[in-house]
Chains A and B, each alone.
Chain A
Amino acid sequence: MSNQILVVIEHLKGNIEDISFEMLGKAKEISSNTGGELVALLMGNGVDGMAGQLGISDKVIYVDDENLAEFNPQAYCKTVASVVADMQPKLVMIGNTSMGMDIAGGVSVDQNMPFIAYVSGISGDGNTITSSLYGGKMNVDSAHTGDGCVVSVISGSFPADAGRMDGSPSVENATAPDLSNLSLQFKQLIEPESGDVDITTQEILVSVGRGIQSDDNLPMVEELASKLGGAVSCSRPIVDSKWLAKTRQVGKSGLKVKPKLYLTLGISGAPEHIEGMKDADLIVAVNTDPNAPIFDYAHYGIVQDIFDFIPALNDKL
């Protein structure tokens, strides 16, 4: 095992995703404490220029292959596993993102390494790894028992600015493993349909979750949003139930928003939702469960039945 930390860089449409800088910043902190080298793994086709944004790393390993031009679970798993096999890093950091979820477990099995998922914290020495489980209601500290470990890090757990540094780290070109026989092929990226309302530009969002129980209860929420001069947004279950359009969804697989007021009604605050709204200027949460994780992120909390609270607030407006 080497004393290196490997951070898998994620990029889409030519942009390095924030999760990469968040992990780089944290990895730098650990490597400064433990004396190891911070290595960024960049994969793609003709994207070597991105290395200039990875100045915080001691070294960039760049793998260029036409089969890596777009993310592909099969191609990326094979490539990361082959780099890990060569390097034997003590820590492999991968985003707990859509792309990362298709890499981390594969590397764990293929390289017989421990894997700790949903990581929201890592101690300065890299030895204690905290996962956010049970919809954000419990934290679990783990220590791995292997020589190295794969972790998947929840977006927004560490500040991105700490890892954002331009520079010219040394770039080592590595050859991709044989990717000629992929049974899985990338076809296209489908952009989201534009909705009637762009929730990312709204100053006031009234956001509903599972607690709304039925789409019959949406009109009172719409009334509230309109009286406040804002729009209605929601958490994932509301979209899965087809009560609101995908364009209204806030969170990991939805949109990131930063309104002046984010008022949540019946949202418990699972990490996937928190990712999308925690930077709002003013967060007010209403939920019947006093232990709902949303109250850890809200500025003001109201424990109340939303069906009593919404009409009461509507009356005041």
Chain B
Amino acid sequence: MNIIVPIKQVPDLVEELEINSSGTDLDREWLKMKLSEFDDHALEEALLIKDDQGATVTAIALASDDIDKALFAAAAKGADRLIKITGVEGSSTHEAAKAMANAIQNIDYDIIMTGVQAVDDRDGQLAVLLAHYLSVPHVSVVTGVELSGNKLVVHKEYGGGMVAEFEGTTPIVLGIQAAKETPRYVPVAKVRRAMRSSSIEEVSSGDLGVDSGSTVSKMYKPESGGGAEMIDGSAEDQASKLMEILTQKGVK
């Protein structure tokens, strides 16, 4: 069983986001990046399958500033093979998906698992675009995968906690919403060891010939939708003022 896990780094939303001088993108100079949380879940689900029944897990990513660290962290968690795709200038999901498809076409794979979405995939989610460039079926918003041979049962989550169950065969692309377990944690020391013991293969993106098909005219912070009336003061003061409001509104 060969599982490929496309991963990427995204801005850490805990940090304050600033807009660049052209007003069309984030100011990336001081931006703190982290592994996209859904990709972390996709990697975890792949590693759970490896732990359970054996599999070769390949983490693959487009070249970017912090990506080596993210790939080595994947190795430290249990990924067997690391691949970095070079030569992609743009940042659209269409280009990323086409570059991934070009690289993956030369690799034996049964399942591709990636995060169901990312915080910055304006022109669409990777899983479905990639599946269509590769002409294989896909299921998104996946919260469960059970494998037996080349058959798999996939759980796709709808609203309200409702789940649809599908049966499919490999090859398939899955957009993972949540792994069965909380993604594992690796200590930095283990990532450092992985940096010494594993290596990253580099492949070229090949011909892309696609783009997002749209251009950004403006990025801006959303206007406060009426905005909240802010309650200031110490925690003590704020709690007192909130009590008054709740009493006045008849909630308490």
Contacts and interface: CB of A to CB of B under 8 A. Distances in A.
Tell whether A pairs with B.
Answer: yes
A184 B139 CA distance: 9
Nearest to A132: B222
Contacts, number: 265
A241 B235 CA distance: 28
Given A134-B13, A142-B122, A149 B213 contact: yes
B239 interface: yes
A contact patch SS:
mixed
Nearest to B11: A134
B239 A309 contact: yes
Interface stretch (B72-80, B81-89, B129-137): B129-137
Contacts of A104: 124, 128
B117 interface: yes
A5 interface: no
A205 B18 CA distance: 33
A140 B213 contact: no
Size bracket, chain A contacts: 35 or more
Contact of A138 (B26, B94, B97, B169): B26
Given A109-B133, A134-B120, A135-B119, A296 B161 contact: no
A106 B139 CA distance: 11
A268 interface: yes
A68 to B, nearest CB: 14
Contacts of A190: 155, 162-165
A284 to B, nearest CB: 7
A145 B214 contact: yes
B237 to A, nearest CB: 9
Contacts of A136: 222
A287 to B, nearest CB: 10
Interface stretch (B46-54, B193-201, B242-250): B242-250
A204 to B, nearest CB: 7
Contact of B217 (A12, A143, A303, A316): A143
A141 B214 CA distance: 10
Contacts of B141: 98, 101-102, 253
Contacts of A106: 128, 131-132, 138
B188 interface: no
Contacts of A300: 228-231, 242, 245
Contact of A228 (B168, B239, B252): B252
Interface string B5-18: 00000010110110
A106 B242 CA distance: 48
Interface in A125-182: 128-129, 131-146, 149, 152
Contacts of B26: 134, 138
Interface of A: 12, 17, 70-74, 77, 97-99, 101-102, 104-106, 108-110, 113-118, 128-129, 131-146, 149, 152, 183-192, 204, 228-229, 239-242, 246-247, 249, 252-256, 260-261, 268, 282-285, 289, 291, 293, 295-305, 308-309, 311-313, 315-317
Interface stretch (B61-69, B104-112, B175-183): B175-183
B213 A118 contact: no
B17 A137 contact: yes
A188 B165 contact: yes
Contacts of A295: 224, 227-228, 230
A254 B13 CA distance: 22
Contacts of B124: 104-105, 108, 115, 117, 152
Contact of B160 (A254, A302, A305): A254
Interface centre among B166, B177, B231 (most CB of A within 10 A): B166
B214 A70 contact: no
Given A104-B128, A141-B217, A315-B239, A185 B164 contact: no
Contacts of B223: 296
Contact of B139 (A73, A240, A316): A73
Contacts of B235: 304-305, 308-309, 311-312
Interface centre among B26, B122, B155, B159 (most CB of A within 10 A): B159
